Amino acid sequence: MDTDADRGVVGDVCASIWPESFTIGPWSANHESAATGARKRLALRLLIKKIDNDGRLSLLPQFLETHWEIEVVDPDDLTTFDQAIAQADAMVSMSWKWELRSASRLKLLQLPGAGTDEIDFARVPLGTAICNCYGHEIGIAEYVLGTMLEWTIGARHMDQEFRRGSWAGSYLSGPRHGELFGKTLGIVGYGRIGREVARRAKPFGMRVIACTRSPDRDAALVDRVEGMDHFFDLLAEADFIAVTPPLNEHTRGLFDQRAFAAMRPSAVIINVARGTIIDEHALYRALVERRIGGAIIDVWYQYPPQGQEHGPRPSTLPFHELDNVLMTPHASAWTDGLLPRRNHAVATNLNRLGRGEPLLNVVRAPA
């Protein structure tokens, strides 16, 4: 039963970053059994990393229907982290690199996102289920459509020139800008992002083709979907190429010099998945030598630590000096709709764990 006090706690938590440890749920965390007087722990225990305690998980209490004690931990303090994980039922983290024998009780490693490329699977205890979650595909699909439109129309550039007094681009003198209508969009890795992009591109009159590992799903959304053996056919046909597979041993460096050579000279590559799916040097050379039309790049080769606004350039190569690349700082998914969707997805699995129900989006089932 929800009490006013519990609701108060939840409200406070939503409005701010969490304290080191607190309890949420319909009952008090630890309760005295009337019959035995024994102290019985009713709450499950969830660990959240200190670095993630910046508000990105602040909506969890809204969606939790089971009883959880939440502890904020600093994994760099290994001794304390080791003690905390020995008591934990679940942990929310996008990464796992620790060799922790004390984690054997952990039932769930819940990723608050999709990419599993920062999980060292061999080090996660075998009894721990690993689950990811989604909810980013809407924001990313809007980013892909928005940047393709911006690339094609160039409204921002016209605005800047027009303010300076130039009528360039007008019907009076031209030049003309392009249309998405009738252009071919190639989607590589046809999953949630790929499908949401296709859903939005078709009403613009684009021809949409895709290639992916399992080409037998949602073919109705696109003009053609094929296996990865047709990768080079797609590259040769597409005006825009959306890169959306996960980063793994098969996709790292998938877009290399050969791939760029296969593209149309006007083709624009859009990377919203992971930087290293595109070979950094091959991309830079293709842009500098203008072998392709350009690139829209949201995911990169080097990053500042989480929480820092300033850091290194996104690559050791000077992409920022090129005029045929549109660069954004891994922002395509980071929309106002993402937080509630992701928090809901994480809480759903915590609720399922709490009730003993099957988990969703299981990447690796417990042995």
b/e sequence 344-358, b meaning 16+ C-beta within 10 Å: ebbbbbbebbbeeee
Site for ligand NAP in 176-195 (CB under 6 A): 189-194
Smallest distance, ligand NAP to C-beta of residue 3, A? 37
Q: Does 255 bind ligand NAP (CB under 6 A)?
A: no
Smallest distance, ligand NAP to C-beta of residue 254, A? 7
Q: Does 137 bind ligand NAP (CB under 6 A)?
A: yes
Contact criterion met (CB below 8 Å) for 46 and 89: yes
Q: Does 332 bind ligand NAP (CB under 6 A)?
A: yes
Q: Does 245 bind ligand NAP (CB under 6 A)?
A: yes
Q: Does 341 bind ligand NAP (CB under 6 A)?
A: no
The number of C-alpha atoms within 13 Å of 297 and in the hemisphere containing its C-beta is 25
CA distance 96 to 64: 24
Site for ligand NAP in 102-131 (CB under 6 A): 113-115
Sheet holding 207-212, edge to edge: 224-227, 207-212, 184-188, 240-243, 268-271, 294-297, 325-327
CA distance 84 to 21: 11
Nearer to ligand NAP by C-beta: 105 or 192? 192
Q: Does 212 bind ligand NAP (CB under 6 A)?
A: yes
Q: Does 272 bind ligand NAP (CB under 6 A)?
A: yes
Smallest distance, ligand NAP to C-beta of residue 116, A? 7
Q: Which region, judged by CB under 6 A, interacts with ligand NAP, from 61-69, 78-86, 170-178, 268-276? A: 268-276
Q: Does 301 bind ligand NAP (CB under 6 A)?
A: no
| 5 phi and psi angles, rounded to 5 deg | -60, -45
- What single letter denotes the amino acid at residue 119? I
Residue entry with tokens 């996660």: 124
| 270 phi and psi angles, rounded to 5 deg | -120, 115
Smallest distance, ligand NAP to C-beta of residue 363, A? 9
- Binder of ligand NAP out of 136, 207, 341, 342 (CB under 6 A): 136
Smallest distance, ligand NAP to C-beta of residue 243, A? 9
DSSP assignment of 264-323, as one string? -TT-EEEE-S-GGGB-HHHHHHHHHTTSSSEEEE-S-S--PPTT-S--S-SSSS-GGG-T
CA distance 166 to 155: 13
- Binder of ligand NAP out of 16, 214, 302, 316 (CB under 6 A): 214
Q: Does 364 bind ligand NAP (CB under 6 A)?
A: no
Size of the site for ligand NAP (CB under 6 A): 31
Give contact residues for ligand NAP (rule: CB under 6 A).
113-115, 134, 136-137, 140, 189-194, 212-214, 228, 244-247, 250-251, 272-274, 298-299, 330, 332-333
